[in-house]
Structure 1
Amino acid sequence: MIFWVFISVLLAFASSKSCDAEEPNNELCLSLNKNLLRSLETQDGHPNPSVHLALRLSNLHNLAKEGAYLNKLKSHLHNILQDSFSNNHPGVGQVALYTLALRSSCYDLNTVFVNISGKTMTLLTHLKKQMEQEKEHIVVNNRPLTNYYKYSLGIVALCTNGIRVNSHVSNKLIKAVEDQHLTHGDTCSVDTYAMAGMALQCVKDSRFDGQNTAELDSALRMIKQKLLDSRGTDNHIGNQFSTGLAVQALIAMGSPNVEFAASIKAMRTSARNYAYQNPMALSQVLPALHQKSYLKVKNFECVDEDDSLVLEPLDPVEILPSETKVAVNVEVVSRGVSLFYSVDVPHGSTLLQALELLVAKNDDFTFDTENTMWGPFLSAINGEQARQSDRGYWQVSSNDVLLPKGIAEFKIQEAQMFTLKNIERH
């Protein structure tokens, strides 16, 4: 009996080894590393701090490309802050992610200043003030200005930069965990639980004064159990896109390998099936495959780093449009009213392309998108807004199953019915 227990532990350990532990896994992670590095050159729009953070958490580096991207992030950070100030738009999530990205390159954040209403302060002081505003909003409205994912990310950013997190701020997150408020709509949000786990673990490790250790430990146990209970039969935690952050959280919280080994194996399988084409998705998965979490940047020193990652030139690939057409039906649901539309699209079209064709065919159908780090976010249909900043969103599903990818990535392979439902938050 003892022998078989020993063998089981060995098998679990083997399946959870990090990228560089076994040759096949090393080759996979090298390929993913290169894909993420290549995205710096091919991505449209603004630089993505999550991508930079993941590259810095990898074991292999191209320091020249990472340094050039860091300069882009620093330049764009100014625009992010100005947009936040001028539009009174709560930007705690983006500011937090930018500070983590800069910290991962050991950039001195005490040299980054912002000017608000004539007052100059460091970026970290500004973030701390933002977190206080979020906390006060919870006191009055029982929810943050943004959401608990961004609230947790703010705590991670402050904590990993050595800034003391006010106990009143962390206690609000602990209470939200206890009351099971970490949801997306009516369902448990694995991403939010994962980020909350990393936030509270960082607070615990930092031993900030005034923290209630018993309540902190209890919340961490609840988060860990919630993540483990969210593991499906395919061993993804939540789904294949939330598993990366979930595994990061389990690693940060000190879970034994046996508790996340199968999930790491599931991510490898998804990666080999080309599931992580979106740079944002890959940026959350790659650190987990290296068995690292965002908390690792707290101790980065950025000395004697590897600089061996080289990108080979890619041969141009010409993609010819398909002559095969498939029927797409779209139901738009808002406030109890449904509208129906249909259009034929080329086989392999993305949902975004299908909606664009629908606009061309129907004078009474329109839509708008917002740019996000995950790609285009469906923000309005027929003039009706459901913006992230308003805590609303257009839920996209097919046959009562939520789409696993964004509208610019999901490809239509057969006749399909899509439901676009306006989800309003209060």
Structure 2
Amino acid sequence: MLLLVIITGLVAFASCRPCDVDGSNLELILSLNKNLFRSLESPEGLPNPSVHLALRLSHHHNLAKETEHLNRLKTELHDNIQTSLTNGQAVTGLMALYGLALKSSCYDLNTITFDVNDKKETLLTHLKKQMEQEKEHIAFSHRPLTNYYQYSLGVLALCVSGIRVNNHVSHKLIKAAENEQFKHGETESIDTYAMAGMALQCVKDSGSYAHNAAELDTALNKIKQKLLASRRSDGHIGNEFSTGLAVQALLAMGSDVGECSASMEAMRTAARSNVYHNPMAISQTLPALQRKTYLSVKTQNCLNEDDTLVLEPVTPVVVLPSETKVNVMVEVVTASGAAAAYSVDVPKGSSLLEALELLERKNVGFTFQKESSLWGPFLSAVNGEQARQSDRRYWHLSSDGTALTEGIGDFKINAAQRITIKNTSY
């Protein structure tokens, strides 16, 4: 009897004990939270709605800084979206993230408007119109105007805002999941499966899909199986940068992703190794580490929030260029298949962007142009040739034949290698 009591006690202790005994998981979450806040201090680029969303879904807040960032979203990002709408550009994903960010701050979305063709309409009205355009584009070209990741974001943003999603809009996403159309080039996009899973779970929870409940369940099961089948031996789902969204989706779809699960531990290990230094990467990982999902925005009430998070002053670290040089071979493959190769020696630890800038300065015929995104800079033109989203093309980057999972500003050159930049369709 005494042995049974001891065993029961040990089981109870193990089941309630956190994955670590020194509180390092909490310290890690606070560290990521603070890194996100510090990213707001960068003057470069537009204010990031994904960062705001993660800060608002966190258990720990600095409400003054969050309010300051919210105001930047309502001015700078709002003006950017307004310009895109005026120019007739598709901004489904960015508008959806903007709506989710505002909703996470319990902001009244009916007070946010845009002017198009001398007509003032709310953000949600414009988002519904964007989704109709996306749906019509799928009908005649079998793919969205943007991509299924942005399409899923649009469905999710409308749904969590209490807007009934058109059955035909949801149906297109369901069929795309069933037909395994969530790809980036030839590779399955785990990010898209994850976002689609959250979007369709929200639609299911709302009870608004009256077309065929069975096919909705089938699509959700397919998405869940895709995510689980993509889990690597180290716990990451897809890669390090898709795991956060994938865990969010599994949580939203009712999977048991416990604190001690392999995927949770994989994210914590990556975070401790500073893999998530890009604010966008942190913004997708931090909610998952706190077992929150983008569906949590639906029930956000903004009451009695913890406001104790303080940013300690950080002494700037000056990183001197390494005296060790490594050789980088850069191969450019155009849309026609023509290839050109270049060589450049760069300081060890340089970013790929810095390596390309050094190569361009050598005046050997290599030129490039970049554009900004929420993930940082990306290549838009190389040697005068563009790879535009409107043409469904992009510059695919690989190192010694392995596709890069980071952008040109984040990927570091620490050893001699061959970088291939290929104009690729999707």
TM over 0.5: yes
Are the counterparts in 1 of residues 100 and 157 from structure 2 also a CA contact under 8 Å? yes
TM-score computed with the length of structure 1 as normaliser: 0.94
Question: What are the superposed Cα offsets for residues 350-369 of structure 1, whole Å, 9 maximum, x if unpaired?
Answer: 11011001111134110001
Correspondence for 1:110: 110
Contact 2:47 2:77 in 1 (8 A): no
Provide structure 2 residue ranges, at least 5 long, that are not aligned to the other structure. Answer: 1-6
Measure how far apart 1:392 and its partner are: 1.2
The verdict on how the C-alpha distance between 1:128 and 1:12 changes in structure 2, with shifts beyond 3 A counting, is farther
Structure-2 change in CA distance of 1:89 and 1:192 (3 Å)? same
Deviation at 1:315, TM superposition (A): 1.2
Which residue of 2 is the match for residue 338 of structure 1? Answer: 339
**What do residues 166-225 of structure 1 show as CA deviations (whole Å, max 9, x unaligned)?**
110000000001111011111110000000000000000011152421011000000000
Matching residue of 1:413: 414
Residue by residue, what CA displacement relative to the aligned partner does 1:105-130 show, whole Å, maximum 9, x if unpaired? 00000111122112221110110111
Instruction: Identify the residue that residue 383 of structure 2 maps to in structure 1.
Output: 382
1:44-89 CA deviation, whole Å, 9 max, x = no partner?
Answer: 2110000000000100000000000000000023322232223321
Post-superposition Cα deviations, 1:290-341, rounded to whole Å, max 9, x if no partner, equal 0010000001111111100000001121211222211110010122211000
Aligned to 2:371, the other structure's residue is in SS state strand
Q: Could you tell me which amino acid in structure 1 is paired with residue 40 of structure 2? A: L
Aligned mates of 1:209, 1:350 — CA distance in 2: 47
- Corresponding residue for residue 87 of structure 1: 87
> Alpha carbons of 1:11 and 1:216: their partners in 2 closer, same or farther (altered >3 Å)?
farther
> Do the aligned residues in 2 keep the contact of 1:57 with 1:104 (CA within 8 Å)?
yes
What root-mean-square deviation, in Å, do the aligned CA atoms of Structure 1 and Structure 2 show?
Answer: 2.2
Counterpart CA distance in 2 for 1:25 and 1:301 is 26
Counterpart residue type for residue 370 of structure 2: T
Q: Is the 1:13–1:261 contact (alpha carbons within 8 Å) kept by the matching residues of 2? A: no
1:14 deviates by 6.3
Separation (CA, whole Å) in 2 of partners of 1:333 and 1:13 = 55
Cα pair 1:12 1:257 within 8 Å, conserved: no
Match of 2:3 in 1: none
Query: What does residue 140 of structure 2 align with?
Result: 140
Supply the distance in 2 between the matched residues of 1:83 and 1:114 (Cα, whole angstroms).
10
Code of the aligned partner of 2:226: K
**2:4 counterpart residue number:** none
Indicate if the aligned counterparts of 1:12 and 1:261 stay in contact, CA closer than 8 A: no
The one-letter code matched in structure 2 to 1:52 is H
Structure 1 residues not aligned, in runs of 5+: none
The whole-number CA distance in structure 1 between the counterparts of 2:350 and 2:309 is 34
Residue equivalent to 1:153: 153
Change (3 A) 1:385 1:299: same
Question: Does residue 1:402 correspond to 2:400, yes or no?
Answer: no
Relative to structure 1, is the Cα distance of residues 423 and 11 closer, same or farther in structure 2, using a 3 angstrom cutoff? farther
Q: CA deviation at 1:12?
A: 8.9
361-370 vs 351-360, which moves further: 361-370
> Relative to structure 1, is the Cα distance of residues 94 and 260 closer, same or farther in structure 2, using a 3 angstrom cutoff?
farther
Specify the SS of the correspondent of 2:419.
Answer: strand
Structure-2 residue corresponding to 1:130: 130
Match of 1:362 in 2: 363
Deviates more, 1:61-70 or 1:251-260: 251-260
In structure 1, the residue matched to 2:394 is 393
Choose 116-125 or 91-100, whichever is displaced more. 116-125
Structure 2 residue aligned with 1:312: 312
Verify the 8 A CA contact 1:244 1:285 in the aligned structure 2: yes
Q: 2:250·2:257 contact (CA, 8 Å) conserved in 1? A: no
8 A Cα contact 2:247 2:257, kept in partner = no
Equivalent position SS for 1:240 = coil
Using the alignment, how far apart are the partners of 1:136 and 1:205 within structure 2?
25
Say which SS state the counterpart of residue 421 (structure 1) adopts.
strand
Aligned to 1:39: 39
Q: Kindly tell me: are residues 186 and 37 of structure 1, through their superposed partners in 2, closer, same or farther at Cα, counting changes over 3 Å?
A: same
| Corresponding pairs, count | 419
Does the residue aligned with 2:41 lie in a helix, a strand or coil? helix
Write the letter of the residue equivalent to 2:357. Answer: E
Deviation of 1:406 after TM superposition, in Å, equals 1.1
Deviates more, 1:358-367 or 1:122-131: 358-367
Shift of the 150–10 alpha-carbon distance from structure 1 to 2, 3 Å rule, reads: farther
The one-letter code matched in structure 1 to 2:232 is G
Cα 1:199–1:329 shift into 2, 3 Å: same
Q: Does the aligned pair in 1 maintain the 2:324–2:348 contact within 8 Å?
A: yes
Matched, 1:267 2:261: no
8 Å CA contact 1:343, 1:358 repeated in 2: yes
**Structure 1 residue identity aligned to 2:245:** L
User: Is 1:422 paired with 2:423?
Assistant: yes
Q: In the alignment, which residue of structure 1 is the partner of 2:96?
A: 96
Aligned to 2:231: 231
Q: Which amino acid aligns with 2:138?
A: I
Q: Which residue of 2 aligns with 1:61?
A: 61
Mapping for residues 238-317 of structure 1, pairs under 5 Å? 238-257=238-257, 261-317=261-317
> What secondary structure does 1:41 align onto?
coil
Alpha-carbon distance in structure 1 between the residues aligned to 2:239 and 2:15: 21
C-alpha contact (below 8 Å) 2:82/2:114 kept by paired residues:
no
The two structures have a TM-score, normalised by structure 2, of 0.94
Q: Is the 8 A contact 2:82 2:115 kept in 1?
A: no
Q: Measured at CA, do residues 269 and 14 of structure 1 come closer, stay the same or move farther in structure 2, by a change above 3 Å? A: farther
Give deviations 1:382-418, integer Å, cap 9, x for gaps.
0100123432110110111111211111111111110
Partner of 1:177: 177
Separation of aligned partners in 1, 2:86 and 2:258: 49
In the alignment, structure 1 residue 208 sits paired with structure 2 residue 208: yes
Partners of 1:11 and 1:397 lie apart in 2 by 44
